[in-house]
Amino acid sequence: MQREELCLLVSPSHELAGKTITPEELATYPLLLTEKGCAYRAEFERIQNLHGLAPKIELETDSTPVLKQFAAAGLGITLLPKIAALDELENGSLTEIIWDGGEFEVYSELLYHKDKKVTKAMKAFFQLVRIHSVEPEETMLSKAT
């Protein structure tokens, strides 16, 4: 299991670029979000609900590239795992908004069925995950039953 760092992203020309935003302030801006059922969207909505707020959702899609393109074009704010936007943050097409609404607690897990054959490719992939994980190895891989 590994914690995923989430970030709110906008065009560098957006009025909130680089600023701090509260849940109350965010509720007044158009949001570009993933589809319902996505773990980080659910966590975001949980935090908004705790504050009694309803997000102003302008776009829902399962396409991360579309979310990034729309945000870069200035059409709203998107919430994504930081790793999904590293290139855009580096090249300056997107910038972060500092979130002042509590921690987003979202984790990624790698699961496999204990009774299924583990191929050489799977073993190699597991090894890569072990090497690049920041979490302790014993919590990183889980066997599903």
Residue 129 has pLDDT above 90, yes or no: no
For 13-38, the pLDDT digits (tens) are 999 999 999 999 999 999 999 998 88
What local confidence, expressed as pLDDT, does residue 108 receive?
A: 63
For 51-67, the pLDDT digits (tens) are 899 889 999 999 999 99
pTM of the entire predicted model = 0.74
CA dihedral for 74, 78, 82, 85, sign (positive or negative): negative
What local confidence, expressed as pLDDT, does residue 28 receive?
A: 93
For 74-114, the pLDDT digits (tens) are 999 999 988 889 999 999 999 999 988 877 666 666 677 88
Detail the DSSP E strand segments found in 37-124.
56-61, 77-81, 95-99, 107-108, 110-113
Residue 2 has pLDDT above 70, yes or no: no
Cα–Cα distance between 97 and 10 in angstroms, integer?
Answer: 7
Domains annotated on the chain, with CATH: 2-99 (3.40.190.10), 110-144 (no CATH)
What local confidence, expressed as pLDDT, does residue 87 receive?
A: 95
Q: Which residues contact 145 (CB under 8 A, 6 or more apart)?
A: 113, 114
What local confidence, expressed as pLDDT, does residue 90 receive?
A: 96
Residue 8 confidence class, pLDDT cut points 50, 70, 90: very high
